[in-house]
Amino acid sequence: VIARLCVIGIGLIGGSLALALRRAGAVEEIIGAGRDETHLRKAVELKVIDRFELNLARAVKDADMVVLAVPLGAMQPVCAAIRDHLGASTILTDVGSAKQGVVDAVQAAFGEVPTLFVPGHPIAGTERSGVEAAFAELYRGRRVVLTPQPHTAPEAMKTVRSMWEHTGALVEEMDISHHDRVLAATSHLPHMLAFALVDSLSRLDDCDKAFRYAAGGFRDFTRIASSDPVMWRDVCLANGDAILGVMAHYRDGLKAIEDALVRRDGERLFDIFTRAKQARDRFMRLS
């Protein structure tokens, strides 16, 4: 049981973690921190947190565990603000979806990466954001990836692992660059494609009229384009190289379809679609 948990950033991810730990009886006191007082008051009303602090130094005081659940671009300033106020045994972790970027931010703020810092990433979410979107079940059965550094303290790893297990998540460890490449392929790139599609369609004439004729496939395909623009801008800035890598690979794949369309090459199209369908059906069996 964590006696005092401080979650910085009470949105979908931070709020759902607080709710899940509360329900599991895995925490005694939850302090929420952030910049927006109205938002934090709402979080208290919704019983997501016990109380809040706008001052980060006070927020982390005497905390046993501090969770950074802010957009990636806010990691470094937040770390700089809490650096001199963490207890000697306070464990620090985060939820960012691009791990090297977070480690770099922590390093820049602390001068070195603390041994009690555990980079973490719950692979879960919805297109909604804000504390109103938080729910205790978000992490049940989902994977949480921890990407420890060589000098990360084993007891910090153990505590963070245990925290996530209380939410019902499956916790795994992964090499940091492997994590960033895998997430670029399976999460960051699809978000780029969905944003690009909706943005390009929105600039067509008669866009709203066209949207009226869109079916369930379009709704599902574009769901992730409703995601938080700040969060995704920051993911792009933190994991740009890996995203560009898979994007180039994707562009080649799209070009193959385009070429086959130009040539009206039905056989080639059939082969591509069949391979994609087989891979996607395999994915569904694996997941």
User: Dihedrals φ, ψ of 173, to 5°?
Assistant: -110, 145
Radius of gyration of the chain, Cα coordinates, nearest whole angstrom: 21
Site string for its own copies, 173-212 (x = CB under 8 A): ---------xx-xxx-xxxxxxxxxxxxxxxx-xxxxxxx
Asked if 13 and 69 touch (Cβ cutoff 8 Å), the reply is: yes
Number of residues that bind its own copies (CB under 8 A): 96
**Cα 189 from Cα 224, distance rounded (Å):** 11
CB of 142 to its own copies, least distance (A): 7
For its own copies, the closer CB: 43 or 192: 192
Examine residue 260 and tell whether it contacts its own copies (CB under 8 A).
yes
Within 123-152, which residues bind its own copies (CB under 8 A)?
A: 123-127, 142-143, 145
If the CB atoms of residues 154 and 216 are measured against its own copies, the closer one turns out to be 216
Residue from 284, 44, 14 nearest 139 by CA: 14
| SS3 assignment, position 235 | helix
Min CB(82)–its own copies separation in Å: 24
Measure the CA–CA gap between 172 and 232, rounded to whole angstroms: 24
Residue 8 or residue 247: which is nearer to its own copies going by CB? 247
Q: How far is CA 224 from CA 76, 191, 195, 229, in A?
A: 26, 6, 8, 11
Part of the chain binding its own copies (CB under 8 A), chosen from 32-40, 49-57, 88-96, 234-242: 234-242
Q: Is 86 an interacting residue with respect to its own copies (CB under 8 A)?
A: no
Under rule CB under 8 A, which residues in 59-78 are in contact with its own copies?
Answer: 73
Give whichever of 163 and 225 is closer to its own copies, judged by the CB atom. 225
